A and B are shown apart, each in its own frame.
Chain A
Amino acid sequence: MMSTVLFYFLAGFILFSAYFVVTAHNLFRCALGLIAVLLGIAGLYLLMDAQFLSAVQVTVYVGGIVVLIVYVILLVADVTQTSYPAGARWRAGVAGAICALMFCSMSWAILSAPELGKVQPDRLRSATLPEIGHSLLSLTAGGFGLAFETISVLLVAVLIGAVTVARVRAGTGEKGAKGQ
């Protein structure tokens, strides 16, 4: 029962923070809400015995991605600016209706699927760290060695691409930067 209580606590915490992320006018507060959401999801991973993924979530997501987002918010945006243009109330209504409809249909589909409820409690387990490590580096069938190497190539390409895109070019870029 302890894990059920923890689940509901974490779920409420995450949803409260997620609501904050999508509605707060101050972008910096949105980023803080995003940190809370990600930490809560790391807690949910722990509830499902996925310790490695939980650690990766905290270090890479909270420690890397969100810090990058916070840095860019401080760099480019007036953090007190409102994110909604005036008169966008109808858009929020339509978006809310679409999302509520989607949530109702998805949860109806989840709760009415019989095979999702057929879980044998003795088969509940999560992948262990040695299994994950072997699978990440094995090139045989069922291994993810090729995807692992490809993602490192992707990250290098992203590094080069981000620097190339954000570089201040002689001429046009400098003029725009001075205009701020």
Chain B
Amino acid sequence: MSGLTLQHFLVFAALLFCVGLYGLLTRRNLIGMLMAVELILNAAALNFVAFHHYLHAGEVAGVIFPLFIIAVAAAEVAIALAVVIVIFRHQGRLNVEEVGHMRH
């Protein structure tokens, strides 16, 4: 029997979530914020898998939801990067505090 418990993974996911949140709050570059969001999403997915493995004896939803998280993250990144390209094309910078409006 391994010495790992559910709490190991949960505390670690909470730590990863907080690191991501710190990045989201301090970064002012759009791409940097996007990468911080990826950390947060991964922490959430890790929680799903940990609960599915330790507490629910392989309930399938615990693997399906991380799959959907990955798919939605891909969609989110694609749209966000398209917006990043447009903003960069019009302003030449990616500082969120200088992006006051999306119309041009």
Contacts and interface: CB of A to CB of B under 8 A. Distances in A.
Contacts of B63: 50, 52-53, 126-127, 132
B33 to A, nearest CB: 9
A119 to B, nearest CB: 5
A18 B29 contact: no
Contact of A1 (B3, B18, B83): B3
B50 A48 contact: yes
Interface of B: 1-12, 14-23, 25-29, 31-32, 34-36, 38-39, 42, 45-46, 49-50, 52-55, 57-64, 66-68, 70-75, 77-79, 81-86, 88-90, 92, 94-95, 97, 104
16 contacts: A15-B16, A18-B39, A22-B19, A64-B74, A69-B77, A72-B85, A75-B85, A76-B84, A119-B6, A126-B53, A128-B58, A151-B72, A155-B74, A165-B86, A166-B82, A173-B89
Contact of B16 (A14, A102, A119, A166): A14
A40 to B, nearest CB: 10
B62 A127 contact: yes
A100 B72 CA distance: 28
B37 to A, nearest CB: 11
Contacts of B21: 95, 98-99, 102
B35 A34 contact: yes
Nearest to B38: A34
Nearest to B89: A176
Contacts of A41: 42, 45-46
7 closest Cβ pairs, A-B complex: A22-B23, A95-B25, A162-B82, A76-B88, A166-B82, A106-B14, A83-B29
Interface of A: 1-4, 7, 11, 14-15, 18-19, 21-23, 27, 30-31, 34, 37-38, 41, 44-45, 47-50, 52-53, 56-57, 60-61, 64-65, 68-69, 72-73, 75-77, 81, 83-85, 88, 91-92, 94-96, 98-100, 102-103, 106-107, 110-111, 116-117, 119, 121, 123-128, 131-132, 135-136, 144, 147, 151, 154-155, 158-159, 161-163, 165-166, 168, 172-173, 176-177, 179-180
Q: Please report whether the interface of chain A is mostly helix, strand, loop or mixed according to DSSP.
A: helix
Nearest to A82: B29
Contacts of A162: 78-79, 81-82
A169 to B, nearest CB: 9
B35 to A, nearest CB: 5
Contacts of A91: 25-26
